Amino acid sequence: MDEQYLERKKKVKDVIYSPEYKPLKYKELAYLFQLKEEDKPILSQILNELTSEGFIMKTPRGKYQKLDNGLICGTFTGNNRGFGFVTVEGETEDYFIPEKQCNGALHMDTVLMRITNMSTEGGRRKEGEIVKIVSHGIKELVGTFDPGKGFGFVIPDNVKFNQDIFIPKALTKGAVRGHKVLVQITDYGGKNRKPEGRITEILGHINDPATDVLSIVRAYELPVEFSDMELRQAERISESVDTKDMAGRKDLREWQTVTIDGEDAKDLDDAITITKKETGYELGVHIADVSHYVTEHSPLDEEALKRGTSVYLVDRVIPMLPHKLSNGICSLNQGVDRLALSCIMQIDENGKVLSHEIAETVIRVDRRMSYTNVNQILEQQDSAVMQEYEEFLPMFYTMKELADILRKRRDKRGSIDFDFPESKIILDEKGFPVEIKPYERLSANKIIEDFMLIANETVAEDYFWQEIPFVYRTHESPDPEKIQKLSVLISNFGYYFKANPDNLHPKEFQKLLASIEGSPEEAMISRLTLRSMKQARYGTVCTGHFGLSTQYYCHFTSPIRRYPDLQIHRIIKENLHGGFNEKRYKHYEKLLPKVTEDCSKLERRAEEAEREVEKLKKVQYMSKRIGECFDGVISGVNAWGMFVELPNTVEGLVHVTNMLDDYYYYDEEKYAMIGADSGKSYTLGQKVRVMVKDTDRILKTIDFVLAEEAESEEPELI
């Protein structure tokens, strides 16, 4: 958006907000501004934007005016029980909208709201009433088709969109009962009239496990296919490194080099070299030079920016770049020449980076290692594996030595390490889950994490002091109110924060996590602690990373799968070549704020989609185990009941209405369910035995009921 357009937009807004202004129609405003015929469409666009952004409103008579006093613009979030909430930019707390005051608003609509209650006494929320729907946020969605006589309905998968969509028979595309479909909304209905739509795609049947994943992909609007233009650009790229591309690069092909990844990884974007020296260590972190092939504003670059990140779902990967690049020329495969951007660091025996060099290089990976076989060498001393990789053993021992030093240094400064067991879900050939278990974070995983972290910190600090426009990874201090709530909760278990919530240091969290290690409530308190934190994001200002307890941090190490890393590489290379003149400085200063904002949003979209697929597969898995009993731990308690987590990471809810031996109520201070007659209590971290009662694949929920008390035996893994 150019500066001239923004200036015009500001001028229109200023006129409408001026005390002398009287509401005018579009043609009257065009006359007021003395616009030429060719400039009138620009005025129309500006008026539409100011209206959708909630700065002005259009009266029933077509006149434009500033918002009535008392009206606020915000985003409506629906609820499947009929009520909703409005989020207003800049305000920390949203407004509750009773069902009768929603007035036809649908999930993600931009709305004008009148405040009806500002009092928060007695735990009440601020309330409002929807006055007008400015614009609709959802244009299409995924749901399940339910036919009728001569028509049909689509029941949305997104329960926050709490209206079924009417589909005329001619627009059903031949869908039958149980089909998952993509529906385009053609009419949003009203207060007493359902939305209408037309089916644009039949995704498959609800009973097909793969269909449900595809439904989530479509619901989150994740782009799957690459255009012909993008694929043609990828096809034009050579499958091997040309000699002329190596010119001017540091040649590291004789350095002993390895990659360490998961067994099934195909996009290998980081390689390691390491040498022990008298004064410490020389660590080389070599990252695939994706920016050499994906140039600024090319079709592949524009598409990568739209995607922001690769998305890793249980049964598939949706890559940021075509496989020709991500698994081919950009992947640091064994035994072939590859272009890289390297950060070569001289590190002393205490883990301090004494000096470093960032350079364009050419490398050749000697061995492609997996986390499993490196762990078999370092932790299990497996003789067969050690014999197979004999020439690399000194390298792996040196890696372990330096990684331990780096981790100890990070721990000393207060870096927080949330070591949650992630879920590993094994699928059969049809996509149905046959096993769920905690994913082991092996010693080798931690080594690579340690090396990537130190490279990211080193690059970020370098470019901070060069005062060049850059992309940082930032993590703000937690909200004091959330810390206060966490402090009250953990005090029930005998744990305390010693610091002032307004002036917290990461070390306080580190001390808390250390104090709960090995306790029954460890997993639960760790999760609550994580939830009290703010989300990390991308930004152009280096404000530090609270969780890592460092002032300088960026994402440099994964340009195959993250756009911010690709953007950083482009800046670094331009700087290395001396091309960072005033024009380019201004270019990046203008470009990067939008890039960082978009990439932060796209990252959250990917994470939400990944979580939804994981929840779905857990529901599918437990749907085959209804009536079976398992031991678990109470992981959460609220007014609806208590959540129980099983050893395999599956979590379900014991609803308060299913606790039949007594009337139970929620004690907010103790975070417990208390029996009114028996006095029996169920608290966070307590071990319980549950039976699987039911599953809901639409809501993606699992219902448990309490079973007989577990005997003193080891909890069974499922």
Pair 504, 391 in one domain: no
Residue 222 lies in a domain: no
Three-state secondary structure string covering 93-128: CCEEECHHHCCCCCCCCEEEEEEEECCCHHHCCCEE
* Token duo for residue 370: 């997996």
What's the confidence (pLDDT) of residue 6? 83
Is residue 337 included in any domain, yes or no? yes
Is 395 inside any structural domain? yes
- Which of 564, 585, 610 is the last residue in one of the domains? 610
Among 272, 300, 274, 301, which residue's Cα sits nearest to residue 287?
Answer: 272
448 close to 375: Cβ distance less than 8 angstroms? no
User: For the domain that residue 150 is a member of, what is the CATH number?
Assistant: 2.40.50.700
CATH number of the domain that 645 lies in? 2.40.50.140
Q: Residues 158, 161, 163, 169: what is their CA dihedral angle, to the nearest 10 degrees? A: -60
Q: Say if residue 498 is in the same domain as residue 355.
A: no
Both 680 and 605 in one domain: the answer is: no
CB atoms within 10 A of CB 459: 26
Q: Domain ends where: 16, 37, 66? A: 66
Q: From CA 124, how far away is CA 96, in angstroms rounded?
A: 9
Asked whether residue 257 falls in the same domain as residue 393, the answer is: yes
**Closest C-alpha among 111, 358, 378, 371 to residue 262:** 371
Specify the pLDDT at position 688: 92
- Predicted local distance difference test score (pLDDT) of residue 711: 42
Domain boundary among 16, 41, 66: 66
Residues 465, 413 share a domain: yes
Q: Which of 629, 473, 641, 488 is closest to 543 using CA atoms?
A: 473
Residue 46 domain-assigned? yes
Residues 254 and 382 grouped into a single domain: yes
Residues of the chain short of pLDDT 70, as ranges, are 1-2, 54, 68-70, 119-124, 499, 501-502, 708-718
Q: Are residues 190 and 332 in the same domain?
A: no
> Dihedral sign, CA of 695, 696, 702, 704?
negative
- The reply to whether 616 falls in a domain is no
> Is the four-CA dihedral 688, 691, 694, 696 of positive or negative sign?
positive
pLDDT value at residue 492? 76
On whether residue 216 sits in a domain, the answer given is: no
Give me the domain span that covers residue 161: 140-207
Residues 437 and 293 in one domain: yes
318-to-217, 309, 313, 400 alpha-carbon distances in Å: 9, 9, 8, 33
- Do 241 and 351 lie in a common domain? yes
Of 3, 567, 538, nearest to 302 by C-alpha is 567
Report in angstroms the alpha-carbon separations of 622 from 243, 627, 645, 716, 718: 55, 10, 13, 15, 10
Tell whether 380 and 232 lie within a shared domain. yes
Instruction: Work out how many domains the chain is built from and give that number.
Output: 6
Same domain, 571 and 442: yes
Tokens found for residue 27: 């043609």
Does residue 233 fall inside a structural domain? yes
Would 712 be classed as within a structural domain? Answer: no
Buried-state track 539-566, b at ≥16 Cβ within 10 A, e below 16:
bbebebbbbbbbebbbbbbbbbbbbbbb
Q: Within the chain, what is the greatest distance between any pair of CA atoms?
A: 87
Write down the pLDDT at residue 709: 42
Whether residue 423 sits in one domain with residue 407: yes
The radius of gyration of the chain's CA atoms, rounded to the nearest angstrom, is: 29
